[in-house]
Structure 1
Amino acid sequence: MEHNLYYTEGLLSFLRSYTKLPVEGIEALLDQSEEGVNPSVRPETAALLFFLVSLSQPVRILEIGTCRGTSSIIMAKACPEAEIITIEIRTDLADAARGNFCDFGVERQITLMEGDMKEIIPALDLSFDFIFLDGAKKSYPFLFPYLLKRLHPGGIWVTDDVFLETACFPEHIKGVNEALQRFNAMVIEEESLIPALIPLGHGLLVAAKKKTEKQSS
């Protein structure tokens, strides 16, 4: 059983016993780990992500933090008609993701942009119906205004690992706690968003962007 900051082993076992993985063959990617850190979304997070995308049926999805492509594949399978743009800075992970996209038959649906999200996102001239933010945590406050602007009214924004603002990090990545604390406050206090904290994995912050009165009618 993997270590989890927020669940007892019994509770996590119970949760996993009722978690149905939404994509056949995805277990191998969910189980992959590197240098003691599991970079993939957790099974229960994968199930919720699949549910949200299936329910909302977005036209265009933005993902920040491709890693090996697990969550991209899950979202592609949840909405086969969606266009997905995903961003990854590490070449080794981007290469692995491209291979996984081909293995799962979703390579034509996904565009992988390799580079620094802090450079790519401000230059994006597109709107998105669904955003999944799971990249470098210290960049979250910087990205917030750009992502808010790019999220279409009625769209959904999911951010992973938000409870890590209370975790202990090594010296070389100091500042994560403060960045997450700032980001969480920015989302919760933003009047155009309807936010909800969900205690799955290391914490999810899900927000829907309000429609204008004209769009709601």
Structure 2
Amino acid sequence: MHFLPENIDQYAVDHSQQEPELLQQLNRETWQKVLNPRMLSGHYQGRILSLLSKIIRPKVILELGTYTGYSALCLLEGLHPEGEIHTIDQNEELYDLQRKYFDLSGAGARIHQHLGRADTILPSLNIKYDLVFMDADKRNYPKYLEMILPQMNSGGIILSDNVLWSGKVVEALDPDDQDTKALLEYNKTLATHPQLETVLLPIRDGLTLTRVK
């Protein structure tokens, strides 16, 4: 979703760092072989994730929603040399594609794939997180936040994708639209929670940057 005029959006892309060759390959393969390729973070947002990760230098990254592994590889670029990534996804069909590119990165041993529901996997991960990227099923964002928050290190960062939800967050709410309802609750919680400092960035479909006090 692009909220800026197309020519301005393209100018921003053209004047941002290019994605590495490995990510270009994954981008192409995703569009050629995988359903719903628009779920890919893509070049522009991927460079944002990469730069934020490099600024933070996290030792432990948690990602909810692996898809084909593009965003995990972007976050990997800033991972501490002794760090690790834990990424969770339910789609068994994408597991081998993810692993292929994780291993091609040269840091595959530091990227741990978890297959299944996040709400069942998260309690088994007894880990403190420095950086979390939230990009899974939107209706469970509030639940995931509740589960993750106690595991965040002070000063840790939570990045939340799709928080503008194609503009639906400012439209009349359909009572049957559980995803938008959950995002409205989630966005309000991030903005008002006493433990959090939050800025919602109107980047693509909305990316929230949240710091845990």
Above 0.5 in TM-score? yes
Matches of 2:198 and 2:180, distance apart in 1: 20
- Aligned to 2:47, what secondary structure does the other structure show? helix
Q: Deviation digits for residues 85-133 of structure 1, max 9, x if unmatched?
A: 1101110112210111112222111010111011111332211011111
Kindly indicate whether the alpha-carbon contact (under 8 Å) linking 1:89 and 1:116 is maintained by their aligned counterparts in 2.
Answer: yes
Tell me how many residue pairs correspond in the alignment. Answer: 204
Relative to structure 1, is the Cα distance of residues 180 and 37 closer, same or farther in structure 2, using a 3 angstrom cutoff? farther
Identify the residue that residue 209 of structure 1 maps to in structure 2: 212
Matches of 2:18 and 2:197, distance apart in 1: 27
Q: State the Cα distance separating 1:22 from its structure 2 match.
A: 4.6
Q: State the Cα distance separating 1:48 from its structure 2 match.
A: 1.2
Matches of 1:178 and 1:200, distance apart in 2: 21
Q: Show structure 1 runs of 5+ residues with no match.
A: 211-217
Superposed CA RMSD in Å reads 2.0
Matches of 1:21 and 1:63, distance apart in 2: 23
Matches of 2:93 and 2:80, distance apart in 1: 26
- Aligned to 1:66, what secondary structure does the other structure show? coil
1:40-189 aligned within 5 A: 40-79=40-79, 81=81, 82-164=83-165, 166-167=167-168, 174-189=177-192
Identify the residue that residue 215 of structure 1 maps to in structure 2: none
Q: State the Cα distance separating 1:7 from its structure 2 match.
A: 2.0
Kindly indicate whether the alpha-carbon contact (under 8 Å) linking 1:62 and 1:132 is maintained by their aligned counterparts in 2.
Answer: yes
1:24 aligns with 2:10: no
Q: Once superposed, which parts of structure 1, at least 4 consecutive aligned residues long, lie more than 6 Å away? A: none
- Aligned to 1:129, what secondary structure does the other structure show? strand
Q: State the Cα distance separating 1:66 from its structure 2 match.
A: 0.7
Matches of 1:146 and 1:165, distance apart in 2: 26
Q: State the Cα distance separating 1:136 from its structure 2 match.
A: 0.9
Q: Show structure 2 runs of 5+ residues with no match.
A: none
Identify the residue that residue 203 of structure 2 maps to in structure 1: 200
Identical aligned residues as a percent: 24
Q: Deviation digits for residues 160-189 of structure 1, max 9, x if unmatched?
A: 111107349xx9x94111111111111111
More helix by share: 2
- Aligned to 1:58, what secondary structure does the other structure show? coil
**2:8 equivalent among 5, 11, 24:** 11
* Alignment TM-score, normalising by the size of structure 2: 0.88
Kindly indicate whether the alpha-carbon contact (under 8 Å) linking 1:165 and 1:177 is maintained by their aligned counterparts in 2.
Answer: no
